[in-house]
Structure 1
Amino acid sequence: MGMEVGGLIGLIVLIICVWAIVQIFQSSATTGAKVFWIVLILILPAIGVILWFFAGPRPSRR
């Protein structure tokens, strides 16, 4: 049972990370800031997404 739950949580984290990276690309932040946030999310997925949610660049309003 532990394997299935771990796999499901991993899939959810992956989906959230991909969504966060797409949002970062759509933001109006500088290229350096975008690279910083993407690298942070790729290295520390769960913590990186939480930090990005509270402190990261916001999507540009078009």
Structure 2
Amino acid sequence: MFGYSLLGLLILIIDIYAIIKTLQSGASTGAKLLWILGILIFPVLGAIVWFFAGPRGGRPITI
């Protein structure tokens, strides 16, 4: 029983981290909204997809 609670807490922490990083990214507002909705609707799958394909970084580096 404790294992399920720990797993749920871990998923919650990962989802919160993904949402914060998405909000800090340089993506458009619409893209951020779609990513956040995906993470909230599909907590495990959304976080996995975000990890591999989500918006990256804060500001783009210009030379």
Same fold (TM over 0.5): yes
Q: Which residue of 2 aligns with 1:10?
A: 8
Q: Residue 25 of structure 1: which of 20, 23, 26 is its match?
A: 23
CA distance in 1: counterparts of 2:15 and 2:46, whole angstroms: 9
How far did residue 13 of structure 1 move?
0.3
5+ residue gaps, structure 1, are none
CA distance in 2: counterparts of 1:45 and 1:38, whole angstroms: 10
**After TM superposition, where is structure 1 displaced by more than 6 Å over at least 4 residues in a row?**
none
Between the two proteins, the alignment pairs up a number of residues equal to: 60
Q: What SS is found at the alignment partner of 1:60? A: coil
5+ residue gaps, structure 2, are none
One-letter amino acid of the structure 1 residue matched with residue 20 of structure 2:
V
Provide the TM-score with structure 1 as the length reference: 0.91
Q: Which has more helix, going by share of residues? A: 1
Identity over the aligned pairs, expressed in percent?
A: 53
